């Protein structure tokens, strides 16, 4: 179902283009079909259920209503996190009672999610769309800025939606898995993918990884598995070669990161600068290098074609344009506030779990965030 609805036209178009490149014209037709909302997410959830039952890791449920609720659980249906039946089904099957503290925490997490989605992602998105539409006329500085803003746009979009989903599920007495864990504070690419869209990458590792040989065996096989997994995960995001390239590059950098880890033999703490206010100089450099790598790969995630991605990158190093765009300090202040607030609360599930604040400070924070939204 996922292959048909999401990828049928992609494969037909590329099949026709491949033959056209050698002078053979095919009269293949694409279909004008509507992509069902959230099909990638509930397809993966039902696949994981079927595979876990087949592997005897999970007993099949006899409650069809509970199974249907697991598949169509509305908070995370269209954008994740991708839940496992082993976590979500037992919570649906057992009786639940309203938990005031959990619901209150859920509302806080939803507020933080709305702030990231509306005040950060949507505002950044306006600038990003303009820059990518006019990149041929803009100076390199604005092109670099466009990619930077896009990083915060996709973070605000994906993680913001996850916070809203997890928070609303808490109100219903259901705990969904953590999907984003402050990924922009990562010290290498491996750590980044342990913190970014966690439910997706774990799904690929758990269900595609064993088919490719798992994490055991010869080193080259493990590297091959990593590159294939990340290439497929890129393709999962959309039917475009840009997503495939983005995933492939992530896999390459994962391998490089693993080699560097093995050579350095450095033990990495669970949280960067754990118990400290500021990171060390080494940690700061590691985070900046990691962020730069992600910043570089992101151009393939945003560009409409591979050619446009390379053209965009080349123009970042040559001054083909000088047109200026009005970017105010408001977006810089919002992003700066986001980084500072998340850094100060990076050990918590979400930044609004600041129990050390007194009631007036908490209410003032809520009020400011609501005003921004």
Q: Which residue has the tokens 């990691």?
A: 290
Active-site entry in 197, 237, 323, 350: 237
Distance in angstroms (rounded) separating the CA atoms of residues 42 and 78: 8
CA 295 to chain centre: 14
| Annotated catalytic residue 237 | yes
Task: Say if CB 153 and CB 125 are below 8 A apart.
Answer: yes
Task: Say if CB 319 and CB 139 are below 8 A apart.
Answer: yes
Count of residues in the chain:
373
φ, ψ of residue 323 in degrees (nearest 5)? -65, 135
Residue 167: cis peptide before it, omega within 30 degrees of 0 = no
Structure tokens at 337: 């506030």
Packing angle, helices 329-344 and 140-171, rounded to 10:
50
**What residues act catalytically?**
237
């Amino acid at each position: 179902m996922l292959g048909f609805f999401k990828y049928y036209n992609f494969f037909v178009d590329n099949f026709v283009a491949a033959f056209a490149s050698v002078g053979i014209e095919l009269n293949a037709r694409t279909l004008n079909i509507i992509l069902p909302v959230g099909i990638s997410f509930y397809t993966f959830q039902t696949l994981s259920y079927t595979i876990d039952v087949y592997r005897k890791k999970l007993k099949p449920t006899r409650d069809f209503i509970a199974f249907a609720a697991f598949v169509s659980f509305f908070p995370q249906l269209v954008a994740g996190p991708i839940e496992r039946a082993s976590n979500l089904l037992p919570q649906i099957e057992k009786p639940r009672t309203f938990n005031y503290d959990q619901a209150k925490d859920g509302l806080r997490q939803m507020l933080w999610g709305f702030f990231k989605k509306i005040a950060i992602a949507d505002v950044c998105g306006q600038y990003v769309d303009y820059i990518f539409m006019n990149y041929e006329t803009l100076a390199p500085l604005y092109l670099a800025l466009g990619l930077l803003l896009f990083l915060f746009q996709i973070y605000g979009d994906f993680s913001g939606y996850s916070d809203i989903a997890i928070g609303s599920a808490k109100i219903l007495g259901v705990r969904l898995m953590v999907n984003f864990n402050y990924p922009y504070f990562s010290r290498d690419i491996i750590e980044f993918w342990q913190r970014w869209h966690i439910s997706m990458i774990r799904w690929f590792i758990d269900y595609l990884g064993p088919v490719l040989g798992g994490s055991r065996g010869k080193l080259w096989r493990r590297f091959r598995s990593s590159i294939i997994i990340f290439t497929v995960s890129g393709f999962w995001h959309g039917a475009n070669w840009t997503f495939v390239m983005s995933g492939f590059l992530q896999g390459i950098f994962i391998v490089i990161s693993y080699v560097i880890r093995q050579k350095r033999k450095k033990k990495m703490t669970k949280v960067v600068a754990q118990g400290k206010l500021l990171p060390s100089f080494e940690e700061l450099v590691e985070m900046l290098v990691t962020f730069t790598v992600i910043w570089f790969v992101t151009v393939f995630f945003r560009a409409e074609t591979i050619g446009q991605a390379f053209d965009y990158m080349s123009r970042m190093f040559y001054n083909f344009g000088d047109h200026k765009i009005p970017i105010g300090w408001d977006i810089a202040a919002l992003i700066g506030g986001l980084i500072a607030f998340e850094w100060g609360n990076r050990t918590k599930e979400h930044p609004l779990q600041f129990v050390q604040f007194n009631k007036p400070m908490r209410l003032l924070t809520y009020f400011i965030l609501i005003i921004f939204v």
